Amino acid sequence: MDEFGRAWMALPEETRSLLAGKYLLGLSDAELAEQYGCRPDSIRMKLTRARRQALKILREGGIGFEPA
């Protein structure tokens, strides 16, 4: 859990905010798009990039997580 916390804090603030909105607060793509002033399909791409960035940080941290 400590490694996850360090990885989380290594993410840029906007990336953390986007991931938290989607996965912790359960906001829809449309709700996030409204908050970020863009279209829902742009949010989907931003989420894809954010997940990839988070996974890269986790892998570099030595956690060894492999997606299914």
Q: Which residues make Cβ contacts (< 8 Å) with residue 33, sequence separation at least 6? A: 39, 40, 42, 43
Q: Give the range among 1-10, 16-25, 42-51 with minimum mean pLDDT.
A: 1-10
**Looking at per-residue confidence, does 39 or 60 come out higher?**
39
Structure tokens at 40: 């829902």
CA distances from 18 to 39, 41, 60, 62, 66 (A): 14, 14, 21, 24, 22
Q: 0.85 exceeded by the pTM?
A: no
Measured CA to CA, the distance from residue 31 to residue 37 in angstroms comes to 10
**pLDDT tens per residue, range 7-36:** 889 999 999 999 999 999 999 999 999 999
